[in-house]
A = this chain, B = another copy of it.
Amino acid sequence: MSKINVGIIGFGTVGSGTFEILTKNTKIIRNRVGADIVVKKIADLDIESDRGVKVERDLFTTDAYELINDPEIDIIVELIGGLTKAKEFILSAIKNGKHVITANKALLAEQGREIYEAAEQCGVILGFEASVAGGIPIINALRHGLSANNIQKAMGILNGTSNYILTRMTQEGLPYNKVVQDAVKLGYAEDPPTLDVDGTDAAHKLTILISIMSGEPASFASIYKEGITDLTPDDILFATEFGYRVKMLAIIRNLGNRIEARVHPTMIPKDHILANVNEAYNAIYFEGDFVGPCLFYGLGAGRRPTGSAIVSDIMDIARQIKLGIKGLMPPLAHAGISGSRIEIMPMEKLTCAYYFRFSALDSPGVLSRIAGILGENRISIASVIQKGRKINGSVPIVMLTHKAQESDVQKAIRQLNDLDVLTSNTVLIRVEDRQ
């Protein structure tokens, strides 16, 4: 039986998970691939710490180039993260004719073009299933199972940490800061969890998804993102009263000549299948022009789920090595070059429904002044909740609008925030209804 040699660079959480699967499921993997997958070498700066898996000492090295330059190694798995060393290692491995697997979403989202092109030029396979939604085989679904479709719309819960935080805020009515402290304590979030809660991580993943769908590297910088740090239990409660859940969503809509792409807290109807994706789970909902609505759900992080994605890439590459082919398809799954750049629609052109919460003085005529400014900006009100209960001494006025344009909304909010009857800045949450 043939033997495929793998080198792992970076032996942290995902690296040790990957090693554990290859060790524990050796027989299944051999049966399915028809080859033995062997970890020949592991590079990490720290080769002393115990990662909870048993590894022969002589597998370790501190020098990544020992792997990259080893002619016997077929596949390099890059798991150190970050933008500098990781990129250098990946490009060197590609130049040495090695197939590369990476979970590095930041690198692919921000500097992917160089890596995709290098892999294509050198005729090696680039696997990055683990870079989006951890164990959920979503890249594979786009490259294969859904590939006949023009994806019209996608909405994803792509960051488990922020979903965990929102779930607890929703179910227990706790404020953001309290849940974050807990999440850090329990190991669900880093301290501070900046990239998770500010939308960066989800936007990285969304960039990769758009690139696969369109066959061209998308521009991470063009994707609007907004975090969950300003959400309050009150807003979540009002959303519930309107029949919605608040989720941190990454959203794409295919507009034909351009793509709407954005990451922000979003209200979705509480019986939407995404509304019931809770805790640290991830999910991606698609609408394809033929397949219709579909959803992929699972764990988006963690050593075992992410390791599962890495090993699935190893197995797919091993099958191709066995057949002597140089990749069934290029990294972005488009054999023909479309040639056209993907244009991401500027955020101010967005049209959607909005939730507003105004903090108002309890005095006559306030609602009329708010409604007046909204009306002047072509924003039409769908429903209003006004309750006696005060929040921080002010009366909350909460409303849902009909579809309005983001630029009008931003202008209206600037005008509203200048009103002397409003005591603090207006809270805004975008709403995604069923079409």
* Chain A residues at the B interface, C-beta cutoff of 8 Å: 1, 17, 20-21, 24-25, 28-35, 129, 135-137, 140-141, 144-150, 215, 271, 273, 276-277, 283, 288-299, 302, 304-305, 307-309, 311-312, 314-316, 319-320, 322-323, 325, 328-329, 333-338
Contacts and interface: CB of A to CB of B under 8 A. Distances in A.
A298 B298 contact: no
B148 A137 contact: no
A25 B336 contact: no
Given A148-B25, A323-B328, A328-B328, A297 B295 contact: yes
5 contacts: A137-B145, A146-B308, A283-B295, A295-B297, A322-B335
B325 A31 contact: no
Given A141-B137, A308-B149, A297 B294 contact: yes
Contacts of A283: 295
Given A31-B338, A32-B147, A148-B308, A297 B297 contact: yes
A118 to B, nearest CB: 20
Contact of A307 (B290, B299, B322, B337): B290
Given A32-B334, A291-B298, A307-B290, A144 B320 contact: no
Given A148-B308, A273-B276, A135 B28 contact: no
B215 A32 contact: yes
Contacts of A34: 329, 335-336
Contacts of A297: 273, 294-297
A319 to B, nearest CB: 5
B146 A312 contact: yes
Contact of A335 (B33, B135, B291, B312): B33
Q: Which 4 A-B pairs have the closest CB atoms?
A: A137-B145, A34-B335, A294-B298, A148-B311
Contacts of A20: 290
Contacts of A28: 148-150
Nearest to A338: B31
Contacts of A315: 144, 147-148
Nearest to A20: B290
A336 B148 contact: no
Given A34-B335, A273-B297, 6 more contacts: A1-B336, A145-B309, A294-B296, A295-B296, A320-B328, A323-B325
A35 to B, nearest CB: 8
A25 B329 CA distance: 19
B293 A25 contact: no
Contacts of A316: 144, 147
A285 to B, nearest CB: 9
B336 A328 contact: no
A32, A140, A319 pick with most chain B CB within 10 angstroms: A32
Nearest to A303: B290
Contacts of A145: 129, 136-137, 140-141, 309, 312
Given A21-B148, A32-B147, A323-B325, A298 B295 contact: yes
Contacts of A25: 148-150, 289-290
A292 B135 contact: yes
Contacts of A1: 336
Contacts of A333: 32
Contacts of A21: 148, 290
Nearest to A286: B298
Contact of A292 (B24, B293, B299): B299
Given A25-B149, A144-B312, A148-B21, A299 B291 contact: yes
A110 to B, nearest CB: 25
A378 to B, nearest CB: 36
A370 to B, nearest CB: 37
A407 B319 CA distance: 45
Given A25-B149, A295-B295, A319 B329 contact: yes
Contacts of A32: 147, 215, 329, 333-336
Contact of A291 (B141, B293, B305, B325): B305
Contacts of A329: 32, 34, 319
A312 B137 contact: no
